[in-house]
Amino acid sequence: MLVMSLGGVIWLALEARNPDHYRWLWQLGRKPAVVEGDLDTRLPPGTPPEGDTFVLPTLDGESRSPEAERGTVPAESLAAIRDDQPFRRAEQAAWFQLLDKLRSTDEAALAGRSIGRTTLIQLFRQPDEYRGELVTISGILRRCEEVNAPNNDRDFTSYYQTWVFPDDNPSNPIVVYCLRVPDGFPLGLELAERVELVGFFFKRWSYAARDTVRLAPVVLAKGLAWTPAVKAPARTEPVSLPLLVAAAAGIAAAVVLASWWRTRRIRPAKTECRFLATIQPGQIAEPIEVGRRLRLLAEQEQENDP
């Protein structure tokens, strides 16, 4: 029983180091997070997508002057944008005008002109009101890859397509096209990086998801404010309970055996010393003196006997 108790104490001490056992304590006194209802991002039936996408080069040879339009986005360009559609060739002008404005504007100035934090629900349900507005978004970036830009006359060769799941609606993405990413920022399809960004809302875009055609807001940004995740220390594998009990039993057996062997060797010596300590020096010689006197008496009796 002592060995089993020792093993149980060791096991409890190891398990007490696991923070997962105390997560329920951290939630005490906290209000549950308010999450808006599930948003149906499927493309409604009866909305045929147009196949005229601007991933193809422009058909006309019209030449535009970047200096003449830099810093402004004509209303007719924004009016050509269509929601619930893939990217269309008619939207190419507004696309590159907004990117050019991002490239020519300082990030601090962009942040100062933002209308503030905007939720996915706002962009999804009111695309006309937010089109062309600078909005601020924060969340977890799950995907980032560099893609080639279509042919254009503003010298854009590539940008980064990222999928950000905002804090207000972490189940649905906002697709963000960035001109650049921070140094050391990872690329891939399975990421979990916290970011914040300021960008122009472009449209509610239809894309082919794994299950069906879905809709997602599209934002054009200059860059990302990245908060790298702190790597947790490597977690050691817990020691199994049978191994702990076996180790405790071995230690207990060794202690008992050592105690028995030490007692067996020391106890006789202590008994002998204790016995000798009770005999006085004069008592040791007394039996020898009595024997000598008896022999002398016996010799005298033999001499007197005729």
Cβ–Cβ < 8 Å for 140, 194: yes
Contacts of 177 (CB under 8 A, 6+ apart): 99, 159, 160, 161, 162, 218, 219, 220, 221
Q: Does 60 have pLDDT greater than 90?
A: no
Rounded to 10 degrees, the C-alpha dihedral 124/202/115/98 comes to 170
More confident residue, 99 or 246: 99
pLDDT value for 56: 34
- Between 45-59, 101-115, 188-202, the lowest mean confidence (pLDDT) is in 45-59
pLDDT value for 55: 45
pLDDT value for 300: 73
Q: Domain 44-227, what fold?
A: OB fold (Dihydrolipoamide Acetyltransferase, E2P) (2.40.50)
What tokens were used for 61? 């040879």
> Of 156, 201, 211, which is closest to residue 175 (Cα–Cα)?
201
Cβ–Cβ < 8 Å for 149, 196: no
pLDDT value for 252: 78
More confident residue, 141 or 266: 141
Cβ–Cβ < 8 Å for 216, 204: yes
- Between 53-57, 245-249, 263-267, 283-287, the lowest mean confidence (pLDDT) is in 53-57
> Of 75, 38, 34, 40, which is closest to residue 204 (Cα–Cα)?
40
End-to-end CA distance of the chain: 84
What tokens were used for 19? 């923070």
Q: Which long-range contacts (CB under 8 A, 24 or more apart) does 108-113 make?
A: 110/134, 110/198, 110/222, 111/136, 111/198
Cβ–Cβ < 8 Å for 137, 116: no
- pLDDT, mean of residues 181-208: 96
Q: Does 29 have pLDDT greater than 60?
A: no
Banded model confidence at residue 31, pLDDT cuts 50, 70, 90: very low
DSSP for the chain? -HHHHHHHHHHHHHHTT-GGGGHHHHTTTPPPP--PPPP--BPPTT-PPP---TTSPPSS-----HHHHTT---HHHHHT--TTB---GGGHHHHHHHHHHHHHS-HHHHHHH---B--HHHHHH-HHHHTT-EEEEEEEEEEEEEEEPPS-SS---EEEEEEEEETT-TTS-EEEEES---TT---BSS--EEEEEEEEEEEEEEEE-SSSEEEEEEEEES--EEEPPPPPPPPPPPPPHHHHHHHHHHHHHHHHHHHHHHHHHHHHHHHHHHHHHTS-HHHHHHHHHHHHHHHHHHHHHHHH--
Cα 93 → chain centroid: 41
The mean pLDDT value of the chain amounts to 79
Cβ–Cβ < 8 Å for 44, 212: no
> Of 218, 217, 136, which is closest to residue 177 (Cα–Cα)?
218
Tell me the domain boundaries of the chain. Answer: 44-227
Handedness of CA 68, 69, 72, 78 (dihedral sign): positive
